[in-house]
A and B are shown apart, each in its own frame.
Chain A
Amino acid sequence: MKNNLMKKLMPYTFIFPALLLLILFSIIPIIISLVISFTNLDITGLGNWGAVKFIGLSNFINLFHDSLFLQAVGNTLFYVVIGVPAVIALSLAIAIMINFGQNRFFKLMRLVFYTPSITNTVAVAVVWTFMYNPSTGLINNILNQIGLGSVGWLTDQNVAKIALIILAVWKAIGLNMLIFLAALQGIPKDFYEAAELDGASWWQQTIHITIPSLKFSIFFVSVTTLIGWFQFFDEPFVMTKGGPLGSTNSVALFVYQNGFQQSNFGYAASASFVMFAAIILATLIQFKLQNKQQNG
């Protein structure tokens, strides 16, 4: 009897520290910010709780009439739609290519592709800002050398988003490549041997053996990447401050600008809740799709 109770309590004891931290630093702040999102909390309210009023849904209503917010939503969707598939496709392709061999060259390539992800985004973004510099930057100089015109990488409204995506993809490939590489090495060799006996080409093997075997890692990578791209922040924060003309502003940056620069905490909290809901929704859809695939 006593032993039984102990057994039941055991797992809770072990997860208790993690749970405590989770509640303290994630769950409680989320609840507080949900409450804040229904108030007009600004810098006055910060020092004087009496000035804080509940204003119902008006933050949310204003949000969807705010052209800057809608623009940020549009930009964020653009980042997600372009960035997520790009990261998955490129890191998978690179992982498969690196998996071809085991000699020094392949090990070196693994290092080359992994290095960007251990760097600090802010530091890297500063370096990329130099490279993107319209008149003295490396990239435009190379373009000019080979006879092409200059591109306003961070100053042209249409190009700036792409420029940020290039940097973010370059940085995200390494980690995901490593996940794919580990999964690739876990695929039993017999599959390929059997396929080879049947006369399947390399391409057929990739499509019919490799990719289906990687289903779980592809799912994992797409969920984490999706969440990451929904919260796209560092790159526009350091490189463009959301400009030119708000064309690179993301929802996360919009939240920061409203919360920490303009001290409209209530408004910022409501925007972050919209983002939170969008991420949950997107993840749920992915889970559903994944289940369907497995069952079907």
Chain B
Amino acid sequence: MNIKKIAIGVAIVAIAGGGFVALNQAANNDSGSSSKTVSFWYGGDGDTDIKPIIKDFTKQTGIKVKIQSVPWSQYNDKLLTAAASKSGPDLMVMGTTSVPNFVSSNSLMDISDVIKKDKNLQSNKFFKGNVETTKVNGKYYGVPWYTETRVLYYRKDLLQKVGYNEPPKNWDELYDAANKLSQRSGKDTYGFSIDQSEPTFGFMMARQNGATLLNKNGQTEFNQTAMVETMSYLQKFVKNGVSPKEDLKLSIGESFGNKGLLPMFVSGPWMVKSIEQDSGLKDSQWGVAQLPAGKYNNMSNTGGGDLAVFKYTSHKTEAIKLMKFLSKRENQIKYYKNSNSLPARTDAWNDKSLQNTKVQVIRKQLNSSQPMPLIKQWDQIGQNYVKAWEKISVENADPQKTMNTFNDQTNKSLDTSK
């Protein structure tokens, strides 16, 4: 009886142990021992977005590609595990803002040589703002793949009613138009929406007002006049009820469509499709415009995705082949058609699939667009900005004082992490 029990116990342990070994082996195989398979990590739905393009690649080169689609919300966690374990994909999509982080964790391969040798990958082929996101300390760690920038979305019909046949061209007009719109009758009507949780908005606006954000020594300048003036300007919207104090959590059909409770907002190209599908508006009722200019310019915020090779890949040649393939003009256009992500290659934009007037406004805005400063702490700074802005907007705190505190805090944390 006892011996039987022991035997069973031993068997269980053996099976469990065996299971571990088997799992381990499976995991090892997963990272690819056959030399003709490249693994590719993609943020979003890879099946519809890139599988058709990858199929062409396999047909042409014989190299198989294993696509792993990860939702964007979990993509960073996934990359962190890859960085820590030094085992990951061969090629991956990198959100433009993550590049400095993963360069500093030693996870991305320096591909400056590859770029120098291939004129298809060189800087002049892509938008300047996107190329900037691939470059850290003069070396290239990726190639731009798709691009994003912020533009102004507005309700043509409602703006006309308050006397604006054209969208606002500068900050004064933006406030004036928004103010008039907010005085329409009805419950909860506003003029302009400021996204409370958007970590880049204030910085983008501050640049239009001449702010540099970081000085030559890498210190932040959030307490300087250019930035503080911007915060005061934005505070005015909330204080006077032109913009809501809090996220109203409305669907696009309620906020922008229908009565247009929030008839103007700033957002990225992904909203074009969302408005077309879900707002219930006719095409003539709304428009997309370049950002209203501040004192200095109407600089927008570049985002998007880059393609980067994982530093510890054992399939460097194949991964680079795939990267080159995805960067070809015709494949960038195909990718746009599948996913609506805008091509980072400038010459892809003369294709007829991108001639929609709304999309072309985004094209123009891309000439005046720049990424957020590329330092690894920027995520954290962005999160702290959201908190500072909450204080200014919700609690009506003094912008100068709030920005002083925010700036001191940031510089302190930048110093300690050096």
Contacts and interface: CB of A to CB of B under 8 A. Distances in A.
B66 interface: no
A47 interface: yes
Contacts of B119: none
A44 B376 contact: yes
B415 interface: no
Among B107, B379, B383, the most chain A Cβ lie within 10 Å of the Cβ of B383
Interface residues of A, number: 35
A246 to B, nearest CB: 7
A261 interface: yes
B13 A16 contact: yes
A149 B6 CA distance: 68
Interface stretch (A99-107, A109-117, A132-140, A205-213): A132-140
A243 B188 CA distance: 22
B248 interface: yes
B76 interface: yes
B157 interface: no
B390 A40 contact: no
A134 B5 CA distance: 61
Given A40-B417, A44-B105, A135-B188, A262 B249 contact: no
Contacts of B379: 261-263
A246 B76 contact: no
Interface in B372-410: 376, 379-380, 383, 387, 390-391, 394-395
A278 interface: no
Interface residues of B, number: 41
A47 B77 contact: no
B289 interface: no
Interface string A120-162: 0000000001000111100000000000000010110100000
A7 B16 CA distance: 23
Nearest to B376: A43
A296 interface: no
Contact of A245 (B2, B248, B390, B416): B390
Contacts of A264: 380
A47 B249 contact: no
Nearest to B83: A46
Contacts of B80: 43, 46, 260, 263
Given A43-B376, A48-B106, A261 B76 contact: yes
Interface string B91-105: 000000000011011
A257 interface: yes
A244 interface: yes
A263 B76 CA distance: 10
Given A17-B16, A42-B417, A260 B76 contact: yes
Interface in B68-92: 76-77, 80, 83-84, 86
Nearest to B100: A43
B394 A245 contact: yes
Interface in A244-276: 244-246, 257, 260-264
B76 A47 contact: no
Contacts of B9: 13-14, 16
A277 interface: no
Among A44, A48, A129, A157, the most chain B Cβ lie within 10 Å of the Cβ of A44
A87 to B, nearest CB: 28
A6 interface: yes
B106 A136 contact: no
A68 B102 CA distance: 26
Contacts of A48: 105-106
B21 interface: no
Contacts of B380: 261-262, 264
B390 A243 contact: yes
A47 B104 CA distance: 8
Among A68, A243, A260, the most chain B Cβ lie within 10 Å of the Cβ of A243
B172 interface: no
Interface string B247-278: 11111001000000000000000000000000
Interface in A66-81: 68
Instruction: List the 8 closest pairs (A to B, CB-CB), nearest first.
Output: A47-B106, A47-B105, A155-B246, A262-B380, A44-B104, A43-B105, A46-B105, A13-B9
Interface of B: 2, 5-6, 9-10, 12-13, 16, 76-77, 80, 83-84, 86, 101-102, 104-107, 188, 196-197, 246-251, 254, 376, 379-380, 383, 387, 390-391, 394-395, 416-417
27 contacts: A7-B2, A10-B2, A13-B6, A13-B10, A14-B9, A17-B12, A43-B83, A43-B102, A43-B104, A43-B105, A44-B105, A44-B106, A44-B376, A47-B84, A47-B105, A48-B106, A133-B249, A135-B249, A152-B246, A155-B249, A244-B394, A245-B387, A245-B391, A245-B394, A246-B387, A257-B383, A262-B383
